[in-house]
Chain A
Amino acid sequence: MNRFLLPLAAFAVLLVVLVVGLKRAPDKSILPSPLIGKPVPQFTLPNLFDSSKPLSSEALKGHWSLVNVWGTWCVECRAEHETLLQIKQQARVPIIGIDWKDQDEDAMSWLAQLGNPYERIGTDHDGRVAIDWGVYGAPESFLISPAGTVVYKHIGALTLQVWQQEFLPRISAAPGPGA
């Protein structure tokens, strides 16, 4: 009897480890970003609304901002749009858009039709800036601190629940007014 006890116990432990491993396995479609905790990638993009004022990474310094990567070809972005409008109404942080591999006319008519939650939009026609941001599937949203650091990244459509649970606490936790 005793000689079976040890192998059986070892097997039980292995079983528990495997089951826990399977249950806790992270969703493979949501990958951690190596950019978290790092300064935002340097970029300069044409401004969708005003070609004389390009959007650069400098515009993300000095205040919290929400950077949202989207495109009119992206189905989930349409589902997300309402949430972005609601976040804009809260007026906590400006939303900066990066229009990824899109046509300017399409983007303009999309915003005219659905409303514009963005303070500024840079147009990334060839997708180079999106690569520097490690974007692999729109929509993706980044929370940027006043120091210009990437604090948090959400992949997929943003919901008010995610906004309240993941984004707002990170902004409130920061010390100092407006910091």
Chain B
Amino acid sequence: MRRAGWVGALALLCAGLLWARLAVAVDTTPPLPDPQLQQRYYELTHELRCMQCQSEALADSQVSLAADLRLQVRELLLAGQSDDQIRDHMVARYGEFILFRPRMTWRNAWLWAAPSLLMLVGGWVAWRILRARSRLVDDESGADGDAPET
């Protein structure tokens, strides 16, 4: 009796997991004929933003606009366009914001350069402080050496 209960619970758990797995699969379109194309489709739909839900990728969004855009990615792939051409196609319509990974441009170059610049400035400041301290120590020990007080 108790064993039957365990088996039942396990079955329920499995069914639940299976259902959750189905719920996760938002994109129900059949895979592209060529596995290589399918791989590119997978990557593109994961790096393009759903403009309505914003923090979701096209691949994960249930919104109908996302489905339309997935279809468009698919068609452009089948039409032989490169990944960059497809990205450009989306950016021309929706702006840079549709890319989860922003491109480096002159306008945002300072953002990319900032970490190394800050490291350089910080290193310079640290070096100045350390040098000043060691000079202080040298002076003190020098003074000690020259004029022993005891």
Contact = CB atoms under 8 A, between A and B. Distances in A.
B39 interface: no
B54 A32 contact: no
Contacts of B72: 128, 131
Interface stretch (B3-11, B15-23, B27-35, B90-98): B90-98
B91 A131 contact: no
Interface stretch (B63-71, B109-117, B135-143): B63-71
Nearest to A127: B68
Nearest 6 A-B pairs (CB), nearest first? A136-B51, A134-B93, A34-B95, A127-B68, A134-B94, A31-B97
Given A31-B95, A133-B93, A134-B93, A127 B64 contact: yes
Nearest to B97: A31
Interface string B41-84: 00000000001101000000000110011001000000000000
Given A136-B51, A136-B52, A34 B93 contact: yes
A132 B93 CA distance: 6
Contacts of A134: 93-95
Given A32-B95, A131-B93, A134-B95, A101 B64 contact: yes
Interface in A25-75: 28-29, 31-35
A127 B95 contact: no
Contact of A127 (B52, B65, B94): B65
Contact of B92 (A34, A101, A126, A136): A34
A34 B94 contact: yes
A136 B65 contact: yes
Interface residues on A, range: 10 to 19
Contacts of B97: 31
A137 interface: yes
A128 B89 CA distance: 13
Interface in A127-179: 127-128, 131-134, 136-137
Given A28-B54, A31-B51, A131-B72, A136 B64 contact: no
Contacts of B95: 31-34, 134
B112 to A, nearest CB: 18
B10 to A, nearest CB: 43
A137 B64 contact: no
A137 B54 CA distance: 12
Contacts of B51: 31, 136-137
Nearest to A133: B93
Contacts of A101: 64
7 contacts: A28-B54, A34-B94, A35-B93, A126-B68, A127-B68, A136-B51, A136-B94
B51 to A, nearest CB: 4
